[in-house]
């Protein structure tokens, strides 16, 4: 009975029917308390999104395997636990403990199979950024010798990321594509590692700002999902690659939305991600939700909340950019410089990972009036961008060069910022594009005030659309200084009372105050008073402008010409 | 035949073209009554005109027809201007606009005592690119 259930559970795991697997393993465990049943149950729980229960269950399975003398199975479980404690929960002491446990078990095994390769992967992940890439190559050799495709996929993906972080973009990309080819061909035994490969690919695509890296594979996964059970990795209703990427990413965090400028969607996902992290200890592998939420709060101008979110994470390498953003918004550029400089010390071999920090250090250094530091950073990012060749990196370099040129009084500043804004837009980074437009407006304002206003207005519209309140406020202030009445897009008829909206609708149809008064059975004076209030509230100059505003902004049924006045008595 | 009343109205467009809206005091009654686009009184008339000159600083009126019956003057005017600042929430487009306007003005004792103004708002909005179906101006 227990054996049958065990076989049923194992086949359910392979076919991706996690609920059936849990049921079968639980039944098997009830019939006979075997290590294999408990281990299978742990794996099913992991897929059913109960990671804490999964880790605990597999820990118990480890003890049973040991009791039974099944040390190879025990070592495999120990290695899995080590990786999950580190990558999923960030609990390094627990991870080290399991790593040591598996190491000593492996030493005594006569035929450890591919497990030493898994140990190498787990050990590399223990060192920040896996500073020894040779281990990945070595574990890849072991994987191939033992035909362990799961390990091959993981080792290739990790080595690819490691290579790209150091600027070896084409070699790293080749590794990642090879990992994805193996993963999507269904060669791997465990779907978990298809997820790991895709996650790594997304992470790297984020570094490079190159979504094209992911799209083809995502499309392939969508097309193949019927043939290969991806379970929670791919919600079934997704039919396009873009859907898949956003479903996959937002299942762990909303970082992707920060890049694409959908701050409202990002907020929802990130708040959930941080909550999940604080309640269950579970954190997404690819991006740090605290860092992202901190950055989002700064963008929204909610600095107190940004500070509260980032408290306790100030030393976290991944939070450095968010902490520095907050410092810059708080007018503490020298602290931002300090944070970024010290974090960059730990990233000396990882040019691609250092890139976003160096970009921000240009801003911080210019704000702190340390032009030489800014110049050094501009040179550093230019060197990295020349290697990666991505549009996003090119945009960031032009933007930084443009800012620096402006400080230097170099007339190329304008051209550089122009091309940066264009490249940011092309790279799908509208927030950066808008910020660059503001920088451009500040550069050209002395020469061409009209152009400055146009650029700043376009940026202001974008900031308001995205909910980037802090940037919107700064841009509106800049426009006000130019004598331009800012904040036009924020004006809506919602600020008007119901009565005022009625008056505006009538006014838009060409009614005079007397006609409006007659329609609404109020005095002419009151009608005039309503009109004045409408102009005041909407920041409009005349009733003609109010009519124009209504033409664009009033809902059709209110502004439409359906109620033509029966009499025109304009001069009476 | 040129009359005093027609002269007063022509002077009004001259002042508008010169951007000297405050000098309308010279030719308007302090008790002026306004309707529609002109606003309700002299100060609203001035702020309405200034409200056009701000987004369209080079606003120029070209009087096409000007006819009189008793003390009432009716005019058909073509305005040309450049959209240089936000208008009705539409950011400066830099586009040239050309639109028709109609004024009915009552002049008594050499001063404007009543004025009604309408302009072709739809054309303005279309030409500054604010309407979805607008052709390039």
Token look-up 């627990």 returns A94
Distance CA B13, CA B113 (A): 16
Q: Which of A488, A489, A545 sits opposite B51 (nearest CB)?
A: A545
CA-based nearest residue in chain B for residue A543: B37
Judged by CB atoms closer than 8 Å, whether chains meet at A547 and B121 is answered as yes
Residue A255 is predicted with a pLDDT of 55
CA atoms within 13 A on the CB side of B74: 5
Domain annotation for chain B: domains and CATH numbers: 4-127 (3.10.450.50)
Judged by CB atoms closer than 8 Å, whether chains meet at A544 and B52 is answered as yes
Structure tokens at A157: 């993906």
Residues of A near B (Cβ–Cβ under 8 Å) read: 450, 453-454, 457-458, 461, 484-485, 488-489, 491, 510, 512-514, 528, 540-549, 551-553, 570-571
Q: Which of B47, B89, B119 sits opposite A489 (nearest CB)?
A: B89
Q: Which residues of B touch A571 (CB under 8 A)?
A: 35, 72, 104, 106, 114, 116
CB A153 within 8 A of CB A159: no
- What's the pTM value of the predicted model, to 2 decimals? 0.60
Residue A561 is predicted with a pLDDT of 42
Q: Which residues of B touch A544 (CB under 8 A)?
A: 37, 48, 51-52, 117, 119, 121
CB A561 within 8 A of CB A568: no
CA-based nearest residue in chain B for residue A457: B91
Q: Which of A458, A489, A571 sits opposite B116 (nearest CB)?
A: A571
Q: Which of A484, A544, A552 sits opposite B130 (nearest CB)?
A: A552
Number of CB atoms found within 10 A of residue A498's CB: 7
φ and ψ at B115, to 5 degrees? -150, 135
Judged by CB atoms closer than 8 Å, whether chains meet at A570 and B130 is answered as no
Sequence-ordered list of residues with C-beta below 8 angstroms from that of B7, at least 6 positions apart, any chain: none
**Between A270 and B120, whose confidence is greater?**
B120
Rg (CA), chain B: 15
Q: Which of A491, A528, A571 sits opposite B114 (nearest CB)?
A: A571
Average pLDDT, integer, range B48-59 = 89
Q: Which residues of B touch A549 (CB under 8 A)?
A: 88-89
Sequence-ordered list of residues with C-beta below 8 angstroms from that of A249, at least 6 positions apart, any chain: A202, A255, A256, A286
Residue A333 is predicted with a pLDDT of 92
Q: Does the CB of B113 have a partner CB in chain A at under 8 Å?
A: no
Judged by CB atoms closer than 8 Å, whether chains meet at B36 and A512 is answered as yes
Per-residue pLDDT of chain A (572 residues; tens, 9 = 90+): 578 899 999 888 877 777 899 999 999 999 998 999 999 999 888 877 777 888 999 999 999 999 999 999 999 999 999 988 887 777 888 999 999 999 999 999 988 999 999 999 888 887 665 556 788 899 999 999 999 999 999 999 989 988 888 888 889 989 988 998 887 776 666 767 777 787 788 778 777 776 666 666 666 665 554 444 444 444 444 444 444 454 444 444 455 555 556 666 667 767 776 766 666 555 555 556 778 788 888 877 788 888 888 888 887 888 898 999 999 988 899 999 999 999 999 888 888 889 999 999 999 999 999 999 999 999 999 999 998 888 889 999 999 999 999 999 998 999 999 999 988 877 777 788 889 999 999 998 888 888 888 888 888 888 887 777 788 888 888 888 887 654 544 467 777 888 888 899 988 887 888 889 988 888 888 888 888 888 877 778 788 888 888 887 776 544 444 333 333 333 33
Sequence-ordered list of residues with C-beta below 8 angstroms from that of A349, at least 6 positions apart, any chain: A129, A131, A166
Q: Which residues of A touch B88 (CB under 8 A)?
A: 540, 545-546, 548-549, 551-552
What residues form DSSP beta bridges with B80? B60, B98
Q: Is CATH 1.10.10.10 the classification given to domain A493-559?
A: yes
Q: What's the ipTM?
A: 0.84
Q: Which residues of B touch A450 (CB under 8 A)?
A: 84, 92, 94
pLDDT tens readout for residues B16-44? 999 899 899 999 999 999 988 888 889 88
Residue A219 is predicted with a pLDDT of 62
Q: Which of B48, B49, B87 sits opposite A543 (nearest CB)?
A: B48
Structure tokens at A30: 């009830």
Judged by CB atoms closer than 8 Å, whether chains meet at B52 and A542 is answered as yes
Distance CA A482, CA A438 (A): 13
Structure tokens at A115: 């497990």
Q: How many angstroms separate the CA of residue B131 from the nearest CA in chain A?
A: 8
Number of CB atoms found within 10 A of residue A21's CB: 25
Could you give the strand order of the β-sheet that contains B96-108, starting from the edge strand earlier in sequence? B28-36, B111-119, B96-108, B72-82, B60-69
CA-based nearest residue in chain B for residue A509: B36
Residue A200 is predicted with a pLDDT of 80
């Amino acid at each position: 009975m227990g054996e049958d259930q065990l076989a049923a559970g194992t086949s359910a795991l392979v076919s991706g029917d996690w609920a059936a697997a849990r049921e079968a393993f639980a039944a098997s465990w009830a019939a006979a308390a075997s290590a294999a049943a408990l281990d299978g149950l742990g794996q099913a729980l992991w897929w059913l999104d109960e990671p804490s229960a999964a880790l605990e269950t597999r820990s118990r399975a480890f003890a049973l395997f040991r009791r039974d003398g099944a040390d190879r199975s025990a070592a495999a479980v120990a290695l899995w636990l080590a990786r999950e404690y580190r990558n999923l929960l960030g609990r390094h002491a627990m991870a080290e403990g399991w790593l040591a446990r598996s190491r000593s078990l492996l030493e005594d095994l006569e035929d450890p199979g591919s497990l030493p390769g898994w140990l190498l992967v787990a050990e590399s992940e223990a060192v920040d950024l896996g500073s020894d890439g040779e281990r990945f190559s070595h574990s890849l050799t072991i994987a191939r010798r033992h035909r362990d495709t799961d390990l091959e996929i993981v080792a290739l993906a990790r080595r690819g990321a490691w290579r790209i972080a150091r600027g070896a973009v084409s070699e790293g990309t080749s590794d990642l594509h090879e990992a994805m080819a193996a993963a999507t061909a269904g060669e791997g035994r465990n779907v978990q590692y298809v997820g790991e490969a895709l996650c790594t690919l997304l992470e790297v695509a984020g570094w490079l700002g190159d979504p094209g890296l992911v799209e083809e594979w995502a499309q392939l996964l969508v097309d193949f999902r019927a043939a290969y059970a991806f379970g929670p990795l791919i919600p079934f209703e997704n039919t396009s690659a873009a859907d898949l990427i956003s479903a996959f990413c937002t299942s762990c965090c909303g970082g992707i939305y920060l890049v694409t400028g959908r701050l409202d969607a990002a907020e929802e996902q990130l708040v959930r991600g941080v909550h999940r992290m604080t309640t269950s200890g579970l954190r997404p592998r690819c991006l740090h939700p605290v860092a992202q939420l901190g950055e989002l709060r700064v963008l929204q101008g909610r600095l107190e909340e940004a500070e509260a979110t980032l408290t306790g994470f100030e030393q976290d390498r991944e939070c450095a950019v968010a902490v520095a953003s907050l410092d810059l918004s708080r007018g503490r550029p020298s602290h931002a410089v300090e944070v970024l400089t010290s974090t960059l010390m730990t990233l000396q071999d990882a040019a691609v990972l250092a890139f976003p920090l160096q970009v921000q250090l240009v801003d911080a250094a210019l704000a702190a009036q340390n032009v030489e530091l800014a110049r050094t950073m501009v040179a550093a990012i230019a060197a990295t961008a020349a290697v990666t060749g991505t549009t996003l990196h090119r945009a960031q370099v032009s933007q930084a060069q443009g800012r620096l040129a402006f400080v230097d009084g170099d007339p190329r500043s304008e051209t550089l910022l122009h091309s940066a804004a264009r490249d940011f837009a092309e790279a799908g980074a509208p927030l950066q594009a808008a910020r660059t437009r503001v920088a451009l407006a500040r550069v050209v304002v002395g020469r061409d005030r009209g152009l400055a206003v146009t650029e700043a207005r376009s940026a202001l519209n974008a900031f308001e659309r995205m909910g980037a309140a802090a940037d919107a406020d700064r841009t509106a202030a800049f426009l006000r200084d130019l004598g331009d009445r800012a904040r036009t897009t924020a004006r809506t008829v919602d600020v008007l009372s119901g009565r005022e909206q009625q008056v505006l609708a009538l006014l838009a149809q060409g009614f005079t105050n007397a006609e409006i008064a007659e329609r609404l059975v109020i005095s002419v004076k009151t009608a005039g008073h309503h009109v004045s209030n409408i102009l005041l509230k909407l920041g409009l100059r005349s009733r003609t402008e109010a009519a124009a505003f209504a033409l664009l902004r009033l809902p059709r049924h209110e502004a439409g010409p359906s109620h033509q006045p029966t009499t025109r008595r304009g001069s009476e | 035949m040129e009359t005093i009343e027609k002269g007063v109205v022509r002077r009004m467009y001259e002042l508008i073209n010169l951007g000297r809206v405050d000098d309308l005091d010279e030719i308007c009654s302090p008790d002026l009554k306004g309707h529609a686009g002109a606003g309700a009184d002299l100060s609203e008339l001035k702020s309405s005109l200034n409200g056009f000159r701000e987004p369209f600083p080079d606003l120029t009126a070209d009087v096409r027809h000007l006819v009189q019956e008793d003390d009432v003057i009716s005019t058909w005017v073509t305005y040309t201007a450049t959209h240089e600042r936000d208008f009705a929430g539409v950011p400066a487009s830099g586009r040239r606009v050309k639109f028709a306007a109609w004024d009915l003005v009552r002049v008594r004792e050499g001063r404007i005592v009543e004025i009604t103004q309408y302009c072709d708002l739809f054309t303005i909005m279309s030409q500054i690119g604010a309407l979805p179906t607008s052709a390039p101006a």
